[in-house]
Amino acid sequence: MKAFVYILGMMLLTVGFTGCKYFKPLDGPGMERDSADIAALDSMTVKAKEDIAGIIKELYAAAAQNASDIDQRFACHAWRDTVAAVEKKDANVPEIGFFNDDYWTMMQDDNPSDLEARDIKFEELNVERGTALVDYTLYSSVQTIHQKLRFCREDGDWRVHDIVRFYNDSDDKEVPTSLMESMRSYLAEPQENASELTYTDMDGV
């Protein structure tokens, strides 16, 4: 009997890591988690931070090698589908389309071999919902840029859902811009205007 209870408990914990609800919902005011739930949530949060930081490091190690499968390895289905739609729309554009650089690194030529994500900070992390927003600086011998990655947990794995870039406004203040939202806006543009709008043109959107 004890063995059965142990196995059942491990199955429930595994479900928690694959994106399903594990913790009891707090449905009313004044309700609090018990100490076991709090300890488990803390442990999952620590592990999620380690996993996501490791993914960012691995992603840019691949980018430094100019790997061609970064989206497949690290991005969620929604990201890959949106990128594919943009590329399909740009297939008939005579000039430069939406993308005019490597959106992971903002490089227009080959990525340098010394790319490194530093100063990784978690601005948001919800292991129950499977969402995270991570701020970081991408260093290299060519340029240094500030970006954020928004993650979702998909099929049990943490995957990139969005890239947030920064531009300086007229007051030289950083303005964040979601690449996912920019791609969706671009896809909503009439085809005849496709060649008139690129991501570079969307400063301050």
Q: DSSP string covering 149-166, please?
A: EEEEEETTEEEEEEEEEE
Residue range 2-56, pLDDT digits in tens: 343 333 343 333 333 333 333 444 455 555 667 777 788 889 999 999 999 999 9
Residues 58-96 have pLDDT tens digits of: 999 999 999 999 999 999 999 999 999 999 999 888 888
pLDDT in tens, 135-148: 999 999 999 999 99
Task: Name the DSSP class of 33.
Answer: -
Strands (DSSP E) along the chain, which ranges? 116-126, 131-139, 145-154, 157-168, 174-178
Helices 2-17 and 35-64: crossing angle in degrees, nearest 10, is: 50
**In terms of C-beta density within 10 A (0-12 exposed, 13-18 middle, 19 or more buried), how is residue 61 classed?**
middle
pLDDT level of residue 171 (50, 70, 90 thresholds): confident
**Segment 112-130 mean pLDDT:** 96
What distance in Å separates the CA atoms of residue 193 and residue 205, rounded to the nearest whole number? 17
pLDDT greater than 70 at residue 203: no
Strand-pair partners of 145:
138
Q: How many residues does the chain have?
A: 205
> In the chain, pLDDT over 90 holds for what percent of residues?
64
